[in-house]
Amino acid sequence: MNLPDDFVTKYQRLLGDEAPAFLASLTSTVNTAGYRVNPERKVPANLTTAKPVPYAQWGYYGAVKGRSLAHQSGAVYSQEPSAMFVGATAAPAKGERVLDLCAAPGGKTTHLASYLQGTGLLVTNEINRKRVRVLAENVERFGVANAVILNDSPDTLSPVFPDYFDKVLVDAPCSGEGMFRKDPAAMDYWSLAYVEDCVTRQREILTEAVKMVKPGGQLIYSTCTFAPEEDEQMMAWVLKTFPEFHLVPVEKSGGVVDARPEWADGNPELKKAARLFPHLLQGEGHFVAKLERTSAAEPTRPRGQAQLGTALSRDQRQLWQDFAQQVLGTEALPAGELVTVKDQLFAVPQDLPALKRAHVFRPGLHLGTFKKNRFEPAYALALASEPQRVNHTLAIDLDQWQKWVHGDTIALATAPAKGWYLLTCQQQPVGFGKVVGQTVKNFFPKGLRFTVYPEDLN
């Protein structure tokens, strides 16, 4: 792999004696795969015996297979180890309001959800229409029940959520230098001019993001680039432009080091931010900073309440209640306000402000679909359910699970009571099936079906 000449020259100048080791690390073939386990799942023991990532709760080194049971059921999420440091730095407390502003494909969103443990509010946003669909799929698969998914620009969202969030995460679009080893195609569009283009875009995003942090709240800024213009110099710009914000120390371990004030304006406060260099740790390149807003200001109260759908009709409410009481039971009922969007039923997190100006991609947890005289539960509801709290569960074996994800019906040795069941395999929720006689009708989403090969099971 040949690094761009301008890139090599730049970092030889910046890093001096450290440059040879740094540049060599970018052309090495070190495997830096990683994954996080879902603390809301009963995680298979083999996933927690790998080497843990030292700075990331629930993080491990190693690869997971996308066609495995653990992946399909949301027990595990594949994520590059250095990227885990971002969510670990944000580490929201239970009950907080959190915004992931540039969220696709969803790794950091699902990490934030692990900290919230189903409490508080997680607003996750992606401006790109295609990428927001991938974000929604990953949020759904991870079983996140307290998320609202938006598809908007930061300048549209800042008037909706003034002074609103305890934590705002800006994993900014960047020049991608830290991903050269993992994704060599990132070098094809890299140039010194592209770095400057990224700086302009990052300043625009941050100008809106700071407006959504409540007094006393925090903004976590991250990139996957080494460029000082996008990292230390960006934080120096924030401190000068928005004096109500100050940097707070980022906890560093496992090879994570201080940011470099000399690469910006020399402000020693910049050392509180963190750099992840591939020649110093097992992972790719990242920069992470944590800013806190002073608490003296009086927060602006968002006006109005969210109206993200319509109230249920009497017949719809009866159909839902019949399903919920029979299949879920009182202990497994999802939290939130029930609303319909056309024929789709959602549980919307409470206390949201009015979102008329925002483009809502998912207003909350998708519960299911109302069809003629019946209710059909959603895949998202299945993956957000805890099997031990659900009334109607049906355990299937691994062979049956392979048929299930392929879209086939499942034959049973005996005939349980007819109706809907939460299907589980190795104690993981995998979807809702409908039992008729000795057959389980398949409702695994058609767009997600796949074939499991023998190597996927090893």
- The answer on 180 and 106 residing in a single domain is yes
The percent of residues above 70 in pLDDT, for the chain, comes to: 98
CB 100 within 8 A of CB 169: yes
Query: 3-state class of 411 per DSSP?
Result: strand
Looking at residue 2, the DSSP 8-state letter turns out to be -
Catalytic residue among 174, 198, 224, 425: 224
Looking at the domain assignment, is residue 1 inside a domain?
A: no
pLDDT band at 297 (very low <50, low <70, confident <90, very high): low
Mean pLDDT, the chain, rounded, equals 94
Residues 3-56: pLDDT tens digits? 999 999 999 999 999 999 999 999 987 778 999 999 999 888 889 999 999 999
Q: Which of 352, 371, 386 is the last residue of a domain?
A: 386
* Mean pLDDT value across residues 217-243: 98
Question: For the chain, how many structural domains are there in total?
Answer: 3
- The answer on 232 and 154 residing in a single domain is yes
Measured on CA atoms in the order 345, 359, 134, 210, is the torsion positive or negative? negative
CATH number at residue 208: 3.40.50.150
- DSSP letter string, 135-187: HHHHHHHTT--SEEEE---HHHHTTTSTT-EEEEEEE-----GGGTTT-GGGG
Return d(Cα 261, Cα 228) in angstroms, integer.
9
Query: Cα–Cα distances in Å, from 343 out to 14, 260, 346, 368, 433?
Result: 58, 54, 10, 9, 20
Q: Exposure string (b/e) for 28-57, b if CB count within 10 Å is 16 or more?
A: eeeebebbbbbebbebbeebeebeebebbb
Looking at the domain assignment, is residue 6 inside a domain?
A: no
pLDDT score of 131 more than 90: yes
Looking at the domain assignment, is residue 224 inside a domain?
A: yes
CB 53 within 8 A of CB 96: no
- The answer on 243 and 123 residing in a single domain is yes
Annotated binding site: 102-108, 126, 171
Q: Which of 266, 293, 320 is the last residue of a domain?
A: 293
**Pairwise pLDDT comparison (295 vs 148), residue with the higher score:** 148
- The answer on 350 and 235 residing in a single domain is no
The angle that helices 232-241 and 192-209 make with each other, rounded to 10 degrees, is 40
Return d(Cα 88, Cα 162) in angstroms, integer.
25
Q: Which of 337, 367, 386 is the last residue of a domain?
A: 386
Looking at the domain assignment, is residue 146 inside a domain?
A: yes
Residues 177-224: pLDDT tens digits? 999 998 999 999 999 999 999 999 999 999 999 999 999 999 999 999
Residues 438-447: pLDDT tens digits? 999 999 999 9
User: At residue 18, what are phi and psi to the nearest 5 degrees?
Assistant: -80, -15
- The answer on 399 and 379 residing in a single domain is no
pLDDT score of 305 more than 70: no
Residues 374-421: pLDDT tens digits? 999 999 999 999 999 999 999 999 999 999 999 999 999 998 999 999
pLDDT band at 456 (very low <50, low <70, confident <90, very high): confident
- The answer on 401 and 353 residing in a single domain is no
- The answer on 345 and 285 residing in a single domain is no
pLDDT score of 458 more than 80: no
Q: By residue range, what is the domain housing residue 407?
A: 392-458
CB 350 within 8 A of CB 336: yes
pLDDT score of 359 more than 90: yes
Alpha helices in 245-341, H assignment, sequence order: 314-323
Looking at the domain assignment, is residue 415 inside a domain?
A: yes
Annotated binding site for S-adenosyl-L-methionine: 102-108, 126, 171
Return d(Cα 324, Cα 341) in angstroms, integer.
19
Active site residue 425: no
* Mean pLDDT value across residues 89-100: 98
